Amino acid sequence: MKYQTLADAHAQIQENDIFMQRWGYDQTNVDFVQVVKVTRRRVWVRPIDQQEVKHGSMTAEVLPLLNHFTGEARVKKPYLWNGEVRLVVEHGSCRKWDGQPKQTTSYA
């Protein structure tokens, strides 16, 4: 489905949805946030913990842990980027998690 307006994108966000972000320079970090409240114009998200499901040499695959909160709720305003709903977070923006494990890397 292609989002036509911000209202259409916002309508696609529900409580308990998970958004994810990859970031880093020498390594790839993955952060997850969980939607805890939705109103007409804003969403509240809280960072959640993750679980390693596969481990390799300086690499891992992680999954989010629903309701395992690691911080307080923050208010976010959804926006569209190339037709995809996103939220602004600490290190840039995040997108809806697709349900698949995400790869992380570490340096030494």
Question: For 89-103, how does the pLDDT look when each residue is reduced to its tens digit (9 = 90+)?
Answer: 877 889 999 999 999
Residues 62, 54: contact at Cβ < 8 Å? no
Nearest-angstrom CA–CA distance, 36 and 2: 24
43 belongs to a structural domain: yes
Specify the pLDDT at position 16. Answer: 98
Number of domains in the chain: 1
52 belongs to a structural domain: yes
Please tell me the pTM assigned to this model.
0.87
Domain that holds residue 64: 6-105
82 belongs to a structural domain: yes
33 belongs to a structural domain: yes
Residue 10: which pLDDT band, with cuts at 50, 70 and 90? confident
